Amino acid sequence: MISSTLTQEITYLHANLCSALADPTRLLLLYALSDQPRNVTELTQELNVLQPSVSRHLRVLRDGGLVRTTRQGSSVLYELTDRRVIEALDLLRGVLRDRIQRSADLIDELVAS
């Protein structure tokens, strides 16, 4: 994909970055890594997802520059490259939380009336 202007190119990359976040498993992976770096086996156990699936999702995150890897003997340690990603995700989760809260309030009102 070739974009004509620089702005378009950046917007395209920006959207790509968001695409990397647009999957439940990858979100769980990012939040797990926000706690501390982990290897694939640990992540697989924590998320209770098949190992090939974890590996492929990690690859998407790595291709998107969201995580980086270092070999630790026979295993591969994954870690976040930039905590601002977590900040951004937390902001969005806040939006979601408030929305759910408002729905709950609305239901309460209906029940009370």
Partner DNA sequence: ATCGAATATGCGTTTATATGAATAAGGTCA
Partner DNA sequence: TGACCTTATTCATATAAACGCATATTCGAT
Backbone angles phi, psi at 70, to 5 degrees: -140, 140
Interacting partner of 56 out of a copy of itself, DNA, none (Cβ under 5 to 8 A depending on kind): DNA
Among 29, 30, 33, 57, binds DNA (CB under 7 A): 57
Buried b (16+ CB within 10 A) or exposed e, 75-92: eebbebeeeebeeeeeee
Q: Per CB under 7 A, does 61 bind DNA? A: no
One residue of 3, 36, 59, 104 binding DNA per CB under 7 A: 59
9 binds DNA (CB under 7 A): no
Question: Cα(28)–Cα(48) distance, rounded to whole angstroms?
Answer: 11
User: Least distance to DNA from the beta carbon of 82, Å?
Assistant: 19
Q: Does 93 bind a copy of itself (CB under 8 A)?
A: yes
50 binds a copy of itself (CB under 8 A): no
* Contact (CB, 8 A) for 73 and 58: no
SS3 77: strand
76 binds DNA (CB under 7 A): yes
